[in-house]
Structures are given as structure tokens and as C-alpha cells.
Amino acid sequence: MPDSGRLIAGRYRVGALLGRGGMSDVHIGTDSRLGRTVAIKLLKSTLAADPAFRTRFRQEAQAAARMAHPTIVRVFDAGEETATDEAGHDSQIPFIVMEHVDGRLLKDIIREGPIEAAEAVRIIDGVLTALEYSHRAGVVHRDIKPGNIMITKSGQVKVMDFGIARAISDSATTVAQTTAILGTAAYFSPEQAKGESVDARTDLYSTGVVLFEMLTGRPPFRGDTPVAVAYQHVSETPVKPSALNPKVSPALDSVVLHALAKDRFARYQSAVEFRNDVETAGSGQMPIHRAGEEVGAGLFGAAPTAITGSALALKQLSEDQTMVRTQRRPPVIWVWAGIVCVVVIVVAVMIWVANLQPSVELPDSSRQVPALTGQTYDEAQNTLLDLDLAATRAEESSTTVPADQVIRTDPPAETIVNPSDVIKVFVSTGPVPVVVPDVTNQPIADAQAAIETLGFVSGSVTAENSPTVAVDVVMRTDPAAAASEFTGVTVNYVVSSGLVTLGDLTGQSLIAAIDLVSSESLAPVSKADYTCAQKSGSPIRAQSLAPGDVPQRSEITLTYCAGS
């Protein structure tokens, strides 16, 4: 079925196709919940047939989502969507929802020819900045290539697809399923081509290939098949970029060839080192490369030559039978003196440790979640980025925190977290309008309970006379029923007092007085007075209840003149 127009995960509307690759299609999309434009990458359904891939895919997408940096395309969401084809068969379609970048792929720019050296240096600087951040977070990209690098209209560099190559290569896919990855063999490191373990230096080799291609318009190795290209990465020495483009300086030649060293200990050992040399070469100066043993030992363990040399020395030492002991054993008193010294030192260290004051400083590997309440989401995100923490947005209503301001975080403020943790930032949408319920003709106690259940506050209770509504029964509310109000608003009640207002009926005709009293739910009783002369209309001479408030359904005697 066509992907365009589909709704994924109940919130992402798939739009027009932006591009198509060996393992995925990329569409523009809309997040209907947040109202923002996103890019939706739909992976091939053949990849999802492997349960190991689905597990690895979810793990790597979560790791990528934790990274928040201006040079990295953000991953907002990932998962699997069930799709039904025309034959009625269901299949799982893995998807990734990413930040939408308005720009061009670097591979499309390279198709137009070699890139000027200054611009190539600027672009590769952005790529290395992204890798420096990801490597610090423990994420190796594994698939750095021009097709995974975007250049925005403003010239900013954005690297995408972190972790996806690992999700595919680490799952139990068949050779046929890995064709998409083999298709990027032009950017493979020698260790990838040989099926060895990879680390951050693998990304740096691939970055060197990208720099070579930007300067020359073509990758360093080409062949009829991906396997042939991979073999060249292992066994053949690349030419200098200046051999293909005379405009390339010897300094950039040096940087590219150092990055493309076959031995990972002989090439750049960190993105920082690579970027420093690129900047030096871009300024016209020749960079000075340090030996692999000096740089690599601290990051990745001793270089193989150093290890081999040490092992050989130990072997020769153990096999040398010509060595003769010439030193006498130390006197016994020296032995005991040494033991005493060791005991004293141990006791002194124990006393020193016991008296240590707890440090208030956090180790470099930990961060403390700052208090962000009252900030906007952008301000909170920048604050977290300064601490190398990633943020994700969540929304909830609040009657106390204004809209668009931070309510709280998860984990809460002052919690100690790792740099790789994602901080969920809850942003206020303001109070939520609620319809005032109709509680008329309900006892006041029941009405107050119904109002307060919805988050309103019960206010004043005012009594009002009514001929029909029983005492303490609600007649109306303010705000009125069905009004839309925010929670926390005070609702006032008007209830029946159980009384009616009786006016002065003397002088009114008997019929009019009876109608008036009946309309007020009172029980009229007429009484004739024969001591006074009858008049037209039989006007009321007296009433048994005085004018004013009287209880509902009270009996009132109306006396009128009935004499001759």
C-alpha cells in the first residue's frame, strides 16, 4: 500500500517522498500532536523480519534519541508500524521520526564536482564536531558517508542515522539483507571490511574518505562490486587528493592520508585530534602527527607493537638461564623494619580516610539535574545542553504555572544522573477549561461534592425565597450551568430558603387574594364576617398571617365582609 497519507503511531502523518535509499524511504511528515514538521524514515520490511534486528533497532534508536547537539539530526521517536499489503498480509515496518532539515545531502553537492578546500574544511569540521559529541556519549556511527550528512540552507552541517548501521550489522541478518550496508563499502574502514570489532577510529577513517571525496569529487577506491572496494580498503594505498585535484594543498594531503591509515593505531585517535589538524591544514600550515603509540595508548590500550615488544622482553627474561643471583639476602631486621613501616602506613591511610569530609563536587561522569521551573522549554533545553544532558518535551495542564513554562522534570531537580540520561521536561499548557455541571434541584451538599470533584471551589451559599423549590435545594449557580471555566474557579450557590413572600392582602377582592396566595403555594381559607356590610368584590378585611416571609404551604385565613 502507498505510504503517503498514512498515520503512523496514531500521530505522525506521512507526506511526500523526500528520498529513497538502499534500506529505507524518507518522507516529509507532520506530528499531529505537536503540530511540527518532521522527517519520517521507513525502513525496508525485509529488515524487520529478523527479531534480533527489531530488538537492536529499538535499543540503538533510544541511544540516538539521547543525543542532542546542533550538528546531529535529532531522533524524536522510533518504533514499528503494522502494514497490510494488497494481498492482505501483515508486515512490520520499522520507522524513525527525525528532525526535518531544510537543506541538501552532501552526496548531491559532491555530484556537482569537487568542493573548494575552505568549504570542505568547514564541512568536515562540523562532521568531526558531531562525532566528538557522539563518541563522548559512547555512540559509534559506523556509517559515515555523504548520504548521511546534510547541509542546511544556512550552511550548517547535520549528521544523521546514528546507531542504525549498528542495529543492522549486529542483528542476525543474512547476506542478502546486508546488501544495503555493503553498498556503502566505499566508506568502510579496513577493520569493517575484515569483519573485526569497530570503535571511534572507524568513524574517523570514514570521515577521511568523505574529506577525500569532497576534495576530489570521487572516493579513494572504486570497483565493480562492493567486495572489490572493501578489499582495496584493506590492501591498497590511496593516492594523494592533489593527484586528482591540483588545487589541494600538501597540508590537506597529509591530513587525508593520515586519516586513511590502514592500522587504526596509526591514524587519528580522536575526533578532536582530527579536527585540530584539519583546522591547521585549512590555515595553510603543515600539521605535525604524533606517533600512534603516544596517542592511542591512553584511549584504546597499548599499540600492538608496544604490546608485542613488552611480551617479547618478558619471554626473553624468563628463558634466560645465564643470570646468576649476586645480591645477598637483606638482614632479618630490615625485613621486620619494612613490615612495621607498611603497617604504620596502612594505619595512617585508614585514619586519613576516616576523617575525610564528603565532597560536594560531582565527578566528571555525573550531572545534577538543575531546577528549571518557570523557564521556557527552549531555555530549559539550553540549560541542560550546557551540562551535556538531553531533553525531551512533555506537556500537562496546570492551574498555577503559566502556559509554555516548565512545571517540573523527571528525574526531579537535584537528582544525580549520567550524561547519557534523557531529562523529561514537563511544560505547562495552562489550565484546562471544564464545563460547569448542572446541579439545580440537588441538595446543597450533593451539589458541592459534584462541583468540587471537577476541580472547582465551592463558594458562598445564598438563600432565596421560592414557592416551589424545597428548602436547601440548589436553584442556580454562578457561574451558570454549562459555562466553560478553568479549574480552580469559585462557584457560588443560590438555594431555596423554604419560605415565600406574603404581601398585604387587605383591601383586595377575595378572588384576587385567593389567586395570589395560591400562586405562592400557600393554602387559602376564606372566612365571612357578618358584622360588617358586604361590599362589591368582597374585599379582604383581615388575614391570619402578617405580611412578610412565611413557610411554604402555610395555611392563611382571609376574612371578608358578608353582612347585609
Inter-axis angle of helices 117-136 and 200-216, to 10 degrees?
Answer: 170
**Is 438 among the catalytic positions?**
no
Radius of gyration over every alpha carbon of the chain, rounded to an integer in angstroms: 42
Q: Catalytic: which of 3, 31, 77, 143?
A: 143
Cβ–Cβ < 8 Å for 453, 436: no
Q: Which cell is 539 given?
A: 374585599
- Provide DSSP, 362-426: PPTT-EEPPP-TTS-HHHHHHHHHHTT-EEEEEEE--SSSPTTSEEEEESPTT-EE-TTPEEEEE
Length of the chain (residues):
564
In one-letter notation, the amino acid at residue 180 is A
- Distance between CA 530 and CA 148 in Å, rounded? 113
- Distance between CA 44 and CA 376 in Å, rounded? 39
CA distance from start to end of the chain: 103
Q: Supply φ then ψ for residue 556, to 5 degrees.
A: -130, 130
Per DSSP, the three-state class of 282 is helix
Name every residue whose Cβ is closer than 8 Å to that of residue 122 and which is 6 or more positions away in sequence. 155, 157
CA 232 from centre of chain: 42
What HEC string does 175-240 produce? CCCCHHHHCCHHHCCHHHHCCCCCCHHHHHHHHHHHHHHHHHCCCCCCCCCHHHHHHHHHHCCCCC
Per DSSP, the three-state class of 433 is strand
Strands across the sheet with 75-84, in order?
7-8, 12-20, 24-31, 36-43, 90-99, 75-84
Q: Which cell is 143 given?
A: 556509517
Name every residue whose Cβ is closer than 8 Å to that of residue 276 and which is 6 or more positions away in sequence. 287
Residues with catalytic function: 143
